[in-house]
A and B are shown apart, each in its own frame.
Chain A
Amino acid sequence: DAKTTQPNSMESNEEEPVHLPCNHSTISGTDYIHWYRQLPSQGPEYVIHGLTSNVNNRMASLAIAEDRKSSTLILHRATLRDAAVYYCILIRGGSQGNLIFGKGTKLSVKP
């Protein structure tokens, strides 16, 4: 399985946009890019996923580089509730769908 690299931690101010980077230089053509986040004392929750094109949903946007070797999760206006560990995970299409979590990026949001 291809690996991902994320910064250990990031800080943001409330109501400002946040860009969380993820590098996946060994991604294959059938790997989907998934993002999950884990709020304190909770199980992880799905945020967004994409293959090649940028994606938007009610929680966030996912910007995927043209060569697919990196991606960025964008939170348009951070709230205190967005403080969490964010995981970038590659899942191969047609696989069993197992999530291989790294250490993720711990996002702190300051009021």
Chain B
Amino acid sequence: EAEVAQSPRYKITEKSQAVAFWCDPISGHATLYWYRQILGQGPELLVQFQDESVVDDSQLPKDRFSAERLKGVDSTLKIQPAELGDSAMYLCASSLVRDWGEQFFGPGTRLTVL
């Protein structure tokens, strides 16, 4: 069964350092999402792509976060510089249909900022 791949699974970094997360969606899924989940809370959307275009990044802290999906397939989320409050699980999801299609989530990247 096709799955969303994410790497790394765990990342420990010091504040002010740069970190990057990678996501490979299910083949053929045009829509890709990045979510952030703080411990004890539900995930919250950071950015949504349709193919290579950003369709919603209203909740992305653009002063330090950036996301790209250059060829409309895999995607990278970057944080520079990392802050203590960025410690969270970063989840990638993809879907075949944009408006209300089932979203398939990857296992996430657990980020700890020291």
Binding site for B on A (CB under 8 A): 32, 34, 36, 42-46, 49, 85, 87, 91, 93-104
Contacts and interface: CB of A to CB of B under 8 A. Distances in A.
Contact of B100 (A36, A43, A45, A97): A97
Contact of B95 (A36, A45, A97, A103): A97
- Closest 5 pairs (CB-CB, A-B): A101-B42, A43-B105, A46-B102, A91-B100, A97-B99
Contacts of A49: 100, 102
Contact residues on B (Cβ < 8 Å of other chain), bracket: 20 to 34
A73 to B, nearest CB: 16
A45 B42 contact: no
B100 A42 contact: no
B101 A97 contact: yes
B38 to A, nearest CB: 11
Interface stretch (B11-19, B43-51, B63-71, B75-83): B43-51
Contacts of A103: 40-42
Interface in B92-114: 93, 95, 97-108
B18 to A, nearest CB: 24
B99 A99 contact: no
